[in-house]
Amino acid sequence: MSTEPSFFARPSAIDTARAASANGDRKSSGKAPDSLHCILCQKKLTADEKAINLKLISRTVTTFYCMDCLGKKLGCGREPIEERIRYYRESGECTLFR
Ligand SMILES: [Zn+2]
């Protein structure tokens, strides 16, 4: 299932103004602010992957890894990370996984 925002949709004037005042970066206008890529392999990250980085590393991380790279970094492979994501999702108690 994909929750990718449509980059073809024109942002409203309000959104454009808000984005411009938020980061002052002309390049990023119209792009979803939470569109992240793995710092190692440049793969586009899912919301789950982003959330598990916050959960396993730190709530204040600024660099993110995909499941594969995170698994390598932590030395556990990607399966335990997928399991962890499933656990947080099913437990429903973590606000990062909804
Ligand atoms: Zn990666």
**d(CA 54, ligand 1 centre) in Å:** 15
Give the pLDDT confidence score for residue 51 in this predicted structure. 94
**d(CA 22, ligand 1 centre) in Å:** 28
**d(CA 18, ligand 1 centre) in Å:** 30
Q: Where are the domains of the chain?
A: 8-33, 38-98
Q: Which residues fall inside 5 Å of ion ligand 1, going by CB? A: 38, 40-41, 43, 66, 69
Q: Between 62 and 6, whose confidence is greater?
A: 62
- Per-residue confidence band for 96, with pLDDT thresholds at 50, 70 and 90: confident
**CA distances, 89 to each of 43, 59, 62 (Å):** 22, 17, 23
Q: Between 30 and 60, whose confidence is greater?
A: 60
- Give this prediction's pTM: 0.61
User: At CA 62, angle to CA 77 and CA 75, rounded to 5?
Assistant: 15
Give the pLDDT confidence score for residue 85 in this predicted structure. 94
